[in-house]
Every structure is written in C-alpha cells, then in structure tokens.
Structure 1
Amino acid sequence: MNKRGEELSTTLNENPLLERMDTLIGALKIGRPALWGIDEIAAYYGCGMTTAREMICKPDFPRAINITGHAKGRRWQPDEVIDWIGRHRETLPRTRVRRPRNHQAA
C-alpha cells in the first residue's frame, strides 16, 4: 500500500529491474559472485585460461559488461554463461583431467 492506502500492483514479473535485483540478491546469498570474470568461467567449465579465452571470443557468447574500461574489467552474467555453455557443450573442447607429474628421483 502507498501513502494514500492504494494497493500497489507491482510484482517481480511486472518489473524487470526488480526481477534482476532479486536474482542478484539471491546470487549474493549463496556466495556466488554477481558477475563472473574469465577465472570464474574457466573454473565453472573446468578448463584452462586459453580455452576460456577461446570461448569468450565466440560471436554468440554472452555480451560482457566492462566495469573498468579495460579488457581485464570484462564481466559476464553467470546465468547467461551457464546457459550458453549448456547449449554449446557438445561443440566446446573437452576438458581434460590434469594428472600430477610423476617426479621420481633419478
């Protein structure tokens, strides 16, 4: 209700800004960063930095938000990245399990 006692009819579904804020608040509550950098993208997919860089250069990869004006300031919406990876998993390079090197004394 507002000051005049009138019922406010704005719901999350009617206001995209409120919906997005609710999503970001939920992400913060579970400890997930609101925006991902390339490190988080690589960690999510389980790949190295080179593969992550190749992924973000694809023309249909989600658009980055540049928070600093420099390439290192690019960030992505986690949900968009997760959806994109889900749609392209078959065409992306397979992640490899890294095995520790066998360091035997000679």
Structure 2
Amino acid sequence: MSTNAVEVNAESTMNINVLYFASLADEANCQQETVTVQQSTSLTELYEQLCQKHRFSRPQSELRVAINDYFAKWTDQINDGDNVVFITPVAGG
C-alpha cells in the first residue's frame, strides 16, 4: 500500500520550465529555471509562488503569459514539461 502512495505522490507533481525576460530576468537573477509544482497548479498560482521566491515587482495584472511559445490565458492549464514565459509590457518607439 505504501508503494501506491509513493507512486501517487510522484505523479502529483510536474516540472515546469520558466523563462524570464526583461525586468523579471533581472529580479530573478536568471533567464530560466525549472520548478516543481503540484499537478493542479494554475498559472496564477505559479506566478504567485515565483513572486514570493524572487520578489517580483510587477503584479500579474500587468503581464501576459505564454505556454510553449503561444500566448495563453491565465486560466489555461499547464502540464508537465511545459515552457512558461511571463511577458512584461513592451514599450514601442
């Protein structure tokens, strides 16, 4: 029975590759990292966890998000192995 518990526990997490650009890369002091989160973690929860870890100055409301090179909605699901990018506002000129 304990073997099943370990298997379920291992299956309940996923690894997400997070890429950072602009001010977020500066604040995180890296351009990418792999984070392990619970299977049910939302994009909003992921960003909140990373905000606590890196003390990001930008609120989620100012950012766009992309999953695997495609713009996504904050309500979209993330899966094990996904690449997630939080995109800061871009100024034109």
What TM-score does the superposition give when structure 1 sets the normalisation length?
Answer: 0.29
Which structure's residues are more often helix, by fraction? 1
Structure number with greater CO (CA < 8 Å, separation at least 6) is: 2
> Larger strand proportion, structure 1 or 2?
2
Point out the structure with max Rg over C-alpha: 1
